[in-house]
Amino acid sequence: MQDGNGVMDRQGASEDKVSREKGLNRVLEILEYLHRTQRAIGIGDLAKGLNAPRSTTYTLVRSLVDAGLLEMAGDGNRVYFGKKLYLYGMDYVRGNDLLRRGRQEVDNLSRETGETSELCMLQSGRYTIVHSSPGTRPFRISSATGLQIPLPWTASGRLLLARFERADIEGMISEDDLVLPDGRRLRLDDFIADIATAGLAGYCITSGLVDAYTKCLAAPVFSAAGKVEATMCLVVPIDTSDEKTGGLLALLRQRAARLSMPG
């Protein structure tokens, strides 16, 4: 039989574990919130955004600042990512063969074509630009590394989901994801049909989804197991001729195939 002290010890250990897990979850929520907002933010606003006690948020932020994971902005009232996270990110790039080679391919493709080029992956149910290189046009198409966009808005999203079951896709797509920036609403059935078409074709082109001025060309990058691990994209003006679009697509598919792992 277990004596009373043993029972209390187990209860105390269990409570400590729960407390640590809550603290870790809150830290992850802070990092994710800063990633979504893409700017330094006041601790009070951070606590409000997380619906968390200000005192708890302040304590966690101070610990993260002391660890170098976060830094206070110049005014001392706002907080953002710290240098140590940047160094960790560079370690990830050095250790990830696909990302390392993909960055080179994207930069080379942008220089050769003069168009904005991207390497994109699926992250937390969102299309995520993991590396981008701007084109050489006087009017440049903006494309921010780290930007996360609803999957139905993108050509890449239709390729990244090519081998997913319908139920899994439905679980990842919210009603808001189907509403484009200009207010148009996509039908989920149409989006799923587009996924099937893109998977069979081995590429995808979308026009005027995120804005009225651009179209996106995307080609899949496969893992050794045949899964779409990433996509390479070109973002070009919507009035790019069919002939030029065809040439860019052929080059894009060639480079994505070169980046893919042999099966």
**Average per-residue pLDDT in the chain?**
87
pTM of the model: 0.75
Amino acid identity for residue 2 in this structure: Q
User: Under 8 Å CB-to-CB from 100, ≥6 apart: which residues?
Assistant: 93, 94
Please tell me whether residues 71 and 116 are part of one structural domain: no
In a domain, 163, yes or no: yes
| Domain C-terminal end among 57, 86, 115 | 86
Please tell me whether residues 169 and 244 are part of one structural domain: yes
The pLDDT value recorded for residue 125 is 78
117 bridge partner residues: 133, 234
Please tell me whether residues 144 and 185 are part of one structural domain: yes
| Domain C-terminal end among 56, 86, 116 | 86
Residue 1: pLDDT over 50: no
In a domain, 91, yes or no: no
Write out pLDDT tens, residues 214-244: 999 999 999 888 899 999 999 999 999 999 9
**Contact, 127 vs 157, CB < 8 A?**
yes
Please tell me whether residues 70 and 110 are part of one structural domain: no
132 bridge partner residues: 118
**Contact, 80 vs 41, CB < 8 A?**
yes
In a domain, 68, yes or no: yes
Whole domain around residue 58: which residue ranges? Answer: 4-86
Please tell me whether residues 151 and 227 are part of one structural domain: yes
In a domain, 200, yes or no: yes
Q: State both tokens at 260.
A: 């893919």
Q: What gap in Å lies between CA 185 and CA 163, rounded to an integer?
A: 24
Please tell me the total count of domains within the chain: 2
In a domain, 64, yes or no: yes
Please tell me whether residues 31 and 60 are part of one structural domain: yes
Please tell me whether residues 79 and 106 are part of one structural domain: no
In a domain, 245, yes or no: yes
Residue found by looking up tokens 């101070």 in the block: 62
Q: What gap in Å lies between CA 59 and CA 79, rounded to an integer?
A: 13
Please tell me whether residues 62 and 103 are part of one structural domain: no
Please tell me whether residues 82 and 127 are part of one structural domain: no
Please tell me whether residues 140 and 188 are part of one structural domain: yes
| Domain C-terminal end among 52, 86, 120 | 86
Please tell me whether residues 30 and 150 are part of one structural domain: no
Write out pLDDT tens, residues 9-59: 655 556 566 567 777 888 999 998 898 888 899 999 999 999 999 888 999
CATH number of the domain bearing residue 221:
3.30.450.40
In a domain, 55, yes or no: yes
The pLDDT value recorded for residue 262 is 74
Residue found by looking up tokens 């808001």 in the block: 176
Write out pLDDT tens, residues 191-200: 999 999 999 9
Q: State both tokens at 187.
A: 């039908």
**Contact, 49 vs 64, CB < 8 A?**
no
Please tell me whether residues 114 and 39 are part of one structural domain: no
Q: What is the mean pLDDT of residues 138-157?
A: 76
In a domain, 25, yes or no: yes
